[in-house]
Structure 1
Amino acid sequence: MENKQIKRHTINDIIEILGDTPQHEGLHIHTSKNKFKEIPLAYPFRSDNYAILLVVSGRLKLQLNILKHEVQKNEIIVIVPNTFTHILEMSSELEVIGISFTMDFLIKNAFNKTEIDTLNFLIAKNTVKLVLNKEELRIFKTITNLLQEKMNVTFYYKNEIILHTFNLLMYELATIYKKEINTYKTSLSRDEELTLRFFRILEDNFKNERTVQFYANILCVTSGHLSKVLKKISGKTASKLIDEVVIIEARILLGNSSLTIAQIADQLQFSDQSFFGKYFKKNTGISPTAYRKSLV
């Protein structure tokens, strides 16, 4: 894994990087038509907002946490807040529609706590990727265009219309997700299902548990079988995947200058700073102190 700084961005940071003008508090739509000659965010980052990306043409390859995804024409990928995100490749003909919004916007202005429970595609543990058919694509574009148009002008009941239009878009996506997840569940092989369960458990336990045996025990398989399946499906062994997610979190914490290395070691549940230092250097080739200095 490359030792690049993992930056933290707010929704306003990303709007500025994309060269856009803010449209609505906590909500933004970006339409890119072959706009960029190079990747605008070519480094790993985490953002505090949701991002729903539709590839209209071309393709986009990105890493989300420890897995790589390729998004092609008429496909949508959902990125939840605080996901490690690294855009790896984008085709020259890439056209993408991106909808970014904060959790604060979602809860305070759009959905109440009861309604948000129905939007599983926004709270799913695994990365959600949807494939839109011709009619679904038409509806998505129509609502998105209307939403973007309403955010860029001043008129009576502007906020109310924006919120109801946004809610309509979310429910359209929820409908597509509901349809696809039922098909997805029935089409998973046993190895794919085991891999998915491993990633869910890893996300919840990586700070406390770093042994393959722990995850194998929960999944009721041997450690050897688990690693064999993960290698087959993801290309990496269980121990490698565990190390990668721990190192990603460590690099993010090291980017926070208010935390001492001892405090970071404690947050990641290492017995002491020395053990954390050895672990970090083994997996990155550089000490935590040297990594932190390289960020300046």
Structure 2
Amino acid sequence: MREPKFIDMRELNIDLIRAKHPYGFNIESDLVLYDQTTGLPVLSETSKMKCLLLAICTDGQIEYTVDTEVHKVVANDILIVSEGQVMGDYKIAPGSKGVCLFLSYDFFQEIVSNVKELSTLFLFARRHPVFHAENRLVKELITYIQAVKLKMLDLDHEFRRELVATMLKVLIYDMCNVIYRVQQVEKTGKTRGETIFADFIHMVEKEYKSERRVSWYAEQLYISPKYLSETIKHVSKRTPSEWIDYYVMMEIRVLLKNSKMSIKQIAEEMNFPNQSFLGKYFKDRYGKSPSQFRRS
């Protein structure tokens, strides 16, 4: 019997978004922002996200699917679409307005480095791709995003990219605060799987520099590696190893770009046997050597 033939789904990254909708405000391949002055981009094809989408609707109605589930967005709704999710079936009502930011995977990781409770944000975004916020909070977020845009337009600023990254970190904390308020109102209890996921992520956030074995984390949680893997995959659509790699790679990239540590020192800091092991680990997952990434 012939094996079924699968067609690769288009992956949506910052460069593709800019090519399709060049009127947005951008910082190279890291970030692109659209607002009332540019209009919202209309994405015509179902795509797998290779970036993060943060958006706020200020007027009108937008309909789309995330992982085949239909979602409707109206005024004062906030939507978050994570890297790896599939978006499609877009319908934007005439006159709809809002603001949206697309952040590259690497830029987002750089921004959220050391942001606590990232697992809570991730779980909420998976369970609530769209959530409603108070008008006052939405106005505050919009005002802040406009301030970010002004800094993006300041092309003569020597530290423009770093400044925007810092401002976006503040924005993410503000959005986390909105999420916290929504959670307090709903008081939605976690499932057993979500509790395991949150406990696992909290542990990874503390131990990823010294421990990368899935079996070790399973032992600390008093469950089998198989059950941990199945649970994490079901809740987050990623394996435990992928989550561990996420934190390890995020830290390595931050150290390569923002410290004067040698690659040998970074290998020691991250508990790799030697520089060669670090180099292979990094290249296998990123496609570049640590030296190439540092120079890029």
TM-score interval, normalised by the smaller of the two chains: 0.5 to 0.7
Q: Deviations over 1:25-56 (max 9, x none)?
A: 412211156947xx832221112100011111
Q: CA deviation at 1:87?
A: 3.5
Contact 1:10 1:47 in 2 (8 A): yes
Tell me which of 89, 102, 113 is aligned to 1:100. 102
Q: Which residue is 2:180 aligned to?
A: 178
Q: 1:173 to 1:206 in 2, by over 3 A?
A: closer
Q: CA deviation at 1:121?
A: 2.4
Distance 2:44 2:8 in 1: 11
Q: 1:123 to 1:17 in 2, by over 3 A?
A: farther
Q: Which residue is 2:12 aligned to?
A: 9
Q: Which residue is 1:121 aligned to?
A: 121
Tell me which of 23, 26, 38 is aligned to 1:23. 26
Between 5-14 and 82-91, the greater mean CA deviation after superposition = 5-14
Q: 1:103 to 1:23 in 2, by over 3 A?
A: same
Contact 2:25 2:152 in 1 (8 A): no
Q: CA deviation at 1:86?
A: 0.5
Q: Which residue is 1:164 aligned to?
A: 166
Letter aligned with residue 73 of structure 1: A
Q: 1:102 to 1:174 in 2, by over 3 A?
A: same
Q: 1:119 to 1:156 in 2, by over 3 A?
A: farther
Q: CA deviation at 1:91?
A: 0.4
Between 24-33 and 7-16, the greater mean CA deviation after superposition = 24-33
Contact 2:24 2:38 in 1 (8 A): no
Contact 1:57 1:73 in 2 (8 A): yes
Q: Which residue is 1:57 aligned to?
A: 59
Larger RCO (CA under 8 A, 6+ residues apart): 1
TM-score (structure 2 length as normaliser): 0.57
Q: 1:206 to 1:66 in 2, by over 3 A?
A: farther
Q: CA RMSD in A?
A: 3.4
Letter aligned with residue 140 of structure 1: L
Distance 2:13 2:180 in 1: 30
Q: 1:80 to 1:184 in 2, by over 3 A?
A: same
Distance 2:33 2:136 in 1: 21
Contact 1:4 1:43 in 2 (8 A): no
Q: Which residue is 1:78 aligned to?
A: 80
Q: CA deviation at 1:89?
A: 1.4
Q: CA deviation at 1:119?
A: 6.4
**Matched residue pairs, number?**
194
Q: 1:70 to 1:5 in 2, by over 3 A?
A: farther
Between 46-55 and 114-123, the greater mean CA deviation after superposition = 114-123
Contact 2:51 2:83 in 1 (8 A): yes
Residues 1-296 of structure 1: pairs in structure 2 closer than 5 A:
6-20=9-23, 23-25=26-28, 26-32=30-36, 35=39, 40-108=42-110, 110-112=111-113, 114-118=114-118, 120-122=120-122, 124=124, 125-153=126-154, 154-186=156-188, 204=234
Q: CA deviation at 1:88?
A: 3.0
Q: CA deviation at 1:165?
A: 1.1
Which blocks of at least 5 consecutive residues in structure 2 are unaligned? 1-5, 196-229, 238-296
Distance 2:17 2:8 in 1: 17
Indicate the percent of aligned positions where both proteins have the same amino acid.
11
Q: 1:83 to 1:105 in 2, by over 3 A?
A: same
